[in-house]
Amino acid sequence: MKQFTYIRATSVDDAVAACAAHRDAKFLGGGTNLVDLMKMGVEQPLHVIDITRVPLNKIEEHAGGVRIGALVPNSDAANHALIRERYPVLTEALLAGASPQLRNMATMGGNLMQRTRCYYFYDPTYAECNKRVPGSGCAALLGVNRLHAILGASPACIATHPSDMCVALAALEAVVQVQGPRGPRSIPMAEFHRLPGNTPQIDTNLQPGEMITAIDLPGLTFGRRAHYLKVRDRNSYAFALVSVAAVLDLDNQGTIREARIALGGVAHKPWRVPAAERSLQGQKAGEAAYTAAARRILAGAKGYSGNSFKIPLAERAIVRALNVAASKQV
């Protein structure tokens, strides 16, 4: 591992100031992704700012919804009464991720910052990876790409975002609170992560020196009719081939008032198609409507040598997730 200086911050202001004062610094929370990447030589920060003593570990009611501090462990958020009661799709998504040990260490802010699990990105012996070495090419285009994107990819990168949590946050229209050298600002989930385009090395729309302080979940009257479905190669400790966060608002006759559908494992960011969700409004809940919406979401999907199976798999997963969500008693 390349040598770095270690700085401990005890407040948000300290952490932001330390980052502004040191070129090429990274914030360290649970370290479940960053430390691995540093050991492999993929991330080589000159300075590591430990933010684990910064008091950002509360879950509390806020503005009609719930605010989750950036340093709350994934396991605490998953099991908190407010989250279980009001946003069960987030609990399901968090518990589908990683392993119990990792969920105890990983923070909510760190989960947002997870980097892709593309094999070529993690292995510096491969020369071609535009995300690791901009301009070097993309080994996955003609290589092993079973886990890779079918939507929103570019010739520069076909990686997927690995998080389960972020898929649920997208469906819930969460807002990420950050603080940086220019003060605090809010970033809607839909704008937090980026598509690869020509700059796949940049995963998010955070500005230099900005630190995540909290995740806000808006008040939602229909959050209980929801389901997170994760399809993966084994039933535990595996990244999603395809995942779906589905949230439905139905009236007493079973007509859809509102639908939220976010996909994971298929793109460089959680994938939503608002027009497809709107097309469900006023329709009778059922497979015909769900299938039409799924096809609309997947219009334009493109498979590569090893992952074309994801297109029909995603269609079936969307229908199943909506069916399960609709069956929930609220």
For residue 62, the SS3 value is: strand
Applying CB under 6 A, among 112, 157, 298, 314 the residue interacting with ligand SF4 is 157
What Å distances lie between residue 198 and 114, 127, 156, 268, CA to CA? 20, 18, 6, 13
Q: How far is the CB of 138 from ligand SF4 (least distance, A)?
A: 3
Applying CB under 6 A, among 27, 120, 192, 304 the residue interacting with ligand SF4 is 120
DSSP structural state of residue 115 = P
Q: State which residue, 118 or 229, has the beta carbon closest to ligand SF4.
A: 118
Tokens of 173: 């229209």
Determine the size of the site formed for ligand SF4 (CB under 6 A).
Answer: 14
Q: How far apart are CA 121 and CA 173, in angstroms?
A: 29
CA angle at residue 105 from 51 to 16, to 5 degrees?
15
Applying CB under 6 A, among 140, 176, 187, 214 the residue interacting with ligand SF4 is 140
Q: Within 10 Å of residue 8's Cβ, how many Cβ atoms?
A: 15
In the chain, how long is the greatest CA-to-CA distance? 63
Binding mask 75-94 for ligand SF4 (x = CB under 6 A): --------------------
For residues 107, 111, 117 and 122, what is the CA-based torsion angle, rounded to 10 degrees? -50
Tokens of 70: 């950036």
Q: How far is the CB of 201 from ligand SF4 (least distance, A)?
A: 9
Q: State which residue, 107 or 160, has the beta carbon closest to ligand SF4.
A: 160
Q: How far is the CB of 328 from ligand SF4 (least distance, A)?
A: 36
Q: How far is the CB of 200 from ligand SF4 (least distance, A)?
A: 5
Which of these ranges, 34-42, 155-163, 271-279, 285-293, lies near ligand SF4 under the rule CB under 6 A?
Answer: 155-163
Q: How far apart are CA 138 and CA 126, in angstroms?
A: 10
Q: How far is the CB of 33 from ligand SF4 (least distance, A)?
A: 14
For residue 234, the SS3 value is: coil
Torsion angles phi and psi, residue 19, rounded to 5: -70, -40
Which of these ranges, 126-134, 172-180, 210-218, 241-249, lies near ligand SF4 under the rule CB under 6 A?
Answer: 126-134
Q: How far is the CB of 69 from ligand SF4 (least distance, A)?
A: 30
Q: Which residue has the tokens 């914030």?
A: 27
Q: How far is the CB of 140 from ligand SF4 (least distance, A)?
A: 4
Quote the strand ranges of 196-275, DSSP E.
Answer: 211-217, 226-231, 242-250, 256-264
Q: How far apart are CA 18 and CA 48, in angstroms?
A: 10
304 makes contact with ligand SF4 (CB under 6 A): no
Q: State which residue, 159 or 187, has the beta carbon closest to ligand SF4.
A: 159
116 makes contact with ligand SF4 (CB under 6 A): yes
Applying CB under 6 A, among 77, 90, 98, 139 the residue interacting with ligand SF4 is 139
Q: How far apart are CA 214 and CA 68, in angstroms?
A: 6
121 makes contact with ligand SF4 (CB under 6 A): yes
114 makes contact with ligand SF4 (CB under 6 A): no
Q: State which residue, 136 or 255, has the beta carbon closest to ligand SF4.
A: 136
131 makes contact with ligand SF4 (CB under 6 A): yes
Tokens of 316: 């079936």
Amino acid at position 290, single letter: Y
Q: Which residue has the tokens 């590569």?
A: 304
Q: Which residues from 191-250 bind ligand SF4, rule CB under 6 A?
A: 200
Q: State which residue, 124 or 274, has the beta carbon closest to ligand SF4.
A: 124
130 makes contact with ligand SF4 (CB under 6 A): yes
Q: Which residues bind ligand SF4 (CB under 6 A)?
A: 116, 118, 120-121, 129-131, 138-140, 157-159, 200
